[in-house]
A = this chain, B = another copy of it.
Amino acid sequence: MSWMLEEQGFNPDKITTNGNKFIIGNGAMGYRGTLEEYTKEQLTACTLAGLYDKVGDRWREPINAPNGLSTRFVCDGEPLSLLSAAYESHDQTLNIRNATFRRRTIFKAAEGNLIDISSQRFVSMEHLDLIATRIEFKCSKDCEMLVQTGIDGEVWDINGPHLESFVADERDGVLELSAVTHELKQTVSVAETIVWEGMTGQGIIKDGASIYRTSLVYCKAGTSYSFVKYFAVNFGDHRESVAKKSLTRVLEARLDSYETHLLRHETHWERKWELSDVRIEGDEEAQFALRYSIYQLHVIAPTLSEKVSIPARGLSGQVYKGAVFWDTEMFMLPFFLHSQPEVARNLVMYRIHTLDGARRKAEEYGYRGAYYAWESQDTGDDACTLFNITDVFTNRPMRTYFRDKQIHISADAAHGIWQYHEFTGDDSVLVDGGAEVILECARFFYSYSYYKEDKRRFEMLDVTGPDEYHERVNNNAFTNALVGQTLDIALQTAELLRVKHPEAYEALIAKLDFGNDLDNLGKMLSGLYMPQPDPLTKIIEQFDGYSKLEDVDLATLKSRILNKNEYLGGGNGLATTTRILKQADVVLMLHLFKGRYSREVKKANWEYYEPRTEHGSSLSSCIYALVASDIGYADWAYEYFMRTATIDLTGESKQYVGTLYIGGTHPAANGGAWMAAILGFAGLHLDQGVVNLNPSLPGRWSSMSFAVQVRGQSFRISVSGTETSILSNAGNSSAQAFRIGSEERMLKPGDGFSCRISGNEGGGELAG
């Protein structure tokens, strides 16, 4: 039960959100949870990772491939579609353990004929270009069933159409459809074949951008009919080689049975869960929500490619331009670092591969170094537009500064690389370009900074922090802290390279002409202004002058809203002139630098900012959960954990702004759910090579247990209200230090360590 997402009945209003909720994927492709009879009108999409296109001056966005699962049943001339036909029952299921989607519908055709149609599908984790489905049907009365199945090239596009020059063909029972993207002239080629023993003849229908096979089946009442369908998607420069890849994939696929394919696929998923499952006892709802969050991360993780990262809406469509934001490093990376460092490596390598784009952006704005894209796609050039929002009152494009001023993105990229190094102990990413990224990001910050002579300090001016409702502020505490961290890790990186990889060090410093800048970074780091807690209130001001803004409560602010879609930030936004923030900002800093601030400071700031936070971003709740755990506010932590863990289950996030669809999945919130559980409730925290555990479980949880990977070693951790235990995998190759509360222990391979906790406050006294 706690692996199955089930929905009974059919509600047309849920088509869009179910598309997200029932998504399957493998990191290379995402396939939305739509039904075989759906078309682009129902936002059917097979979204490809890493291929983008731009039409005219519209937004550049990822490609949705032609839909190779498109299938229509027509019973005695009557189309069987949930959208139009009568039905007796419908249910659909997502098995998150093996990432399979099932639907079963019993249609009511003429003369009481009940047609039972079911299908199962998966996006193969074995072959990343392959999708397989098995479709069954059965009638309660004899009838003529027309089965039409093929490839629908009429795809859902937000800013398309992106595919043109369609070529459709049929060869040896394989349907092929190729098309070329508008901008980069990349060929997307889909091949499809079915395995249907006893199929009687077929006709081919080509209709512009689609190709279908048609087969007429004389169904006998009570007899089950079924077929298997494979489709493969590839893209690349050369039409022929791309087409051949897809063709070969389906031709090979049909040599094995559907069950064999499924088994191989499941093996991958078993391994994923082995590495990443979190077991919660005592709270079924939380257990499923957390597993579902982890599932969402698995379906979009780039397991084999270091040229793509995870877009802010995963692979659930083209929303947010399919772009990679800071979400990846700050909200998703921790999950992968702790469970599958090889995926984490791909994610950070993506930043290395897009360094030149970041350099171009820095240069465009007149800076040196690397200014990473706020919205990053294949090249690392910024896909974010200057007028990114439409004013609902005038219908005019509104100038926003997401692209220009969220400089913390470069710190986030550097932070991700350094985190990878810290967690894995693996220098290779640094040598293979990571050090270059870190130094270039630090150089960017130096070139962005200003020195305030009158106060003898460096300041970061005219930035936008996580709270995007307040654009272009000075000395955003979060940003300054992240900039300081980048300078620090740049100096550490340089020193590490100098000592351990002197040749690489010399080559890099020479290539970047970085000699003087190393001194500059040191000077800047020691002089960088860090907003401090107010001596009396302990509040850290979010940015210069924040405390002079109107202190209105959230309800009052919302009562001022004239149009439900109006943007609260920007030039004239309602929140802009108040202290209402979009999302965790100072509080995120308190999480990232938890060792730097006392519990008193964290508590004061959590309490101050929490009621002022609108949570207009799905990145907010998990951070409030994390810091609530840290300061011992377990009830608050649980509430915020559940908000972040259920975001894609409830589908309650905003789906449309005006006519623009902005829904989709929320991988950052999914990653946030994992963080809230492991880094929050279990209180896991790696600090200078020591794994700290400071658990604070929600009241209703009797225990939680999970695996983690640290520095190439595997551990299992169990936490209950009374005891915390750690087991070092017997196959580990080296010892690792752990600290529970004040007790520290070095665990050798195969060692265990248990610590009894008395009292409710996590991380309090230790016994035994």
Q: Which residues of A contact B (CB under 8 A)?
A: 366, 368, 387, 391, 393-394, 396, 398-399, 446-447, 449-454, 458-459, 461-462, 472, 474, 520, 524, 544, 560, 562, 570-574, 576-577
Contact A446 B453 (CB under 8 A): yes
How far does the alpha carbon of A238 sit from the alpha carbon of B634 in the complex, in Å? Answer: 66
How far does the alpha carbon of A571 sit from the alpha carbon of B474 in the complex, in Å? Answer: 18
**Chain B residues with CB under 8 A of A393:** 393-394
* Residue in A449, A453, A462, A520 whose Cβ sees the most chain B Cβ within 10 Å: A453
**Nearest CB in chain B: distance from A308 CB, A:** 31
Q: Contacts A399-B577, A577-B399; is A391 near B454 (CB within 8 Å)?
A: no
The closest CB in chain B to the CB of A443 belongs to B454
* Residue in A391, A398, A451 whose Cβ sees the most chain B Cβ within 10 Å: A451
How far does the alpha carbon of A572 sit from the alpha carbon of B400 in the complex, in Å? Answer: 10
Query: Would you mind naming 14 contact pairs between A and B with Cβ atoms under 8 Å apart?
Result: A393-B393, A394-B572, A396-B560, A396-B574, A399-B572, A446-B453, A450-B459, A451-B452, A462-B474, A472-B472, A571-B571, A571-B573, A571-B576, A572-B572
Which of B452, B570, B574 lies in contact with A450, CB distance below 8 A? Answer: B452
Given contacts A396-B560, A570-B572, 15 further A-B contacts (CB under 8 A): A366-B544, A391-B572, A393-B393, A396-B572, A398-B572, A399-B572, A446-B453, A449-B453, A450-B452, A450-B453, A451-B453, A453-B524, A461-B461, A472-B472, A572-B572
The closest CB in chain B to the CB of A517 belongs to B454
How far does the alpha carbon of A452 sit from the alpha carbon of B448 in the complex, in Å? Answer: 8
**Chain B residues with CB under 8 A of A453:** 446, 449-451, 458, 520, 524
Contact A399 B576 (CB under 8 A): yes
**Chain B residues with CB under 8 A of A387:** 577
The closest CB in chain B to the CB of A520 belongs to B453
Contact B399 A368 (CB under 8 A): no
> Do most interface residues of chain A lie in helix, strand or loop, or is the interface mixed?
loop
**Chain B residues with CB under 8 A of A447:** 454
**Nearest CB in chain B: distance from A133 CB, A:** 49
**Chain B residues with CB under 8 A of A450:** 450-453, 459, 461
How far does the alpha carbon of A571 sit from the alpha carbon of B575 in the complex, in Å? Answer: 13
The closest CB in chain B to the CB of A452 belongs to B450
**Chain B residues with CB under 8 A of A452:** 450-451
**Chain B residues with CB under 8 A of A474:** 462
**Chain B residues with CB under 8 A of A391:** 572
The closest CB in chain B to the CB of A396 belongs to B572
**Nearest CB in chain B: distance from A388 CB, A:** 13
**Nearest CB in chain B: distance from A646 CB, A:** 35
The closest CB in chain B to the CB of A574 belongs to B396
**Chain B residues with CB under 8 A of A368:** 454
**Chain B residues with CB under 8 A of A461:** 450, 461-462
Which of B394, B451, B458, B574 lies in contact with A562, CB distance below 8 A? Answer: B394
How far does the alpha carbon of A524 sit from the alpha carbon of B454 in the complex, in Å? Answer: 11
How far does the alpha carbon of A664 sit from the alpha carbon of B575 in the complex, in Å? Answer: 36
**Chain B residues with CB under 8 A of A572:** 391, 394, 396, 398-399, 570-572
**Chain B residues with CB under 8 A of A454:** 368, 446-447, 449, 520
How far does the alpha carbon of A524 sit from the alpha carbon of B474 in the complex, in Å? Answer: 22
**Nearest CB in chain B: distance from A617 CB, A:** 21
The closest CB in chain B to the CB of A571 belongs to B571
**Nearest CB in chain B: distance from A718 CB, A:** 52
**Chain B residues with CB under 8 A of A446:** 453-454
How far does the alpha carbon of A520 sit from the alpha carbon of B453 in the complex, in Å? Answer: 9
**Chain B residues with CB under 8 A of A544:** 366
The closest CB in chain B to the CB of A453 belongs to B451
**Nearest CB in chain B: distance from A650 CB, A:** 32
The closest CB in chain B to the CB of A366 belongs to B544
How far does the alpha carbon of A472 sit from the alpha carbon of B450 in the complex, in Å? Answer: 16
**Chain B residues with CB under 8 A of A562:** 394
For the complex of A and B, the 5 pairs showing the least CB-CB separation, nearest first, are A571-B571, A450-B450, A393-B393, A571-B572, A451-B451
The closest CB in chain B to the CB of A399 belongs to B577
The closest CB in chain B to the CB of A386 belongs to B577
**Chain B residues with CB under 8 A of A462:** 461-462, 474
**Chain B residues with CB under 8 A of A577:** 387, 399
* Residue in A394, A459, A576 whose Cβ sees the most chain B Cβ within 10 Å: A394
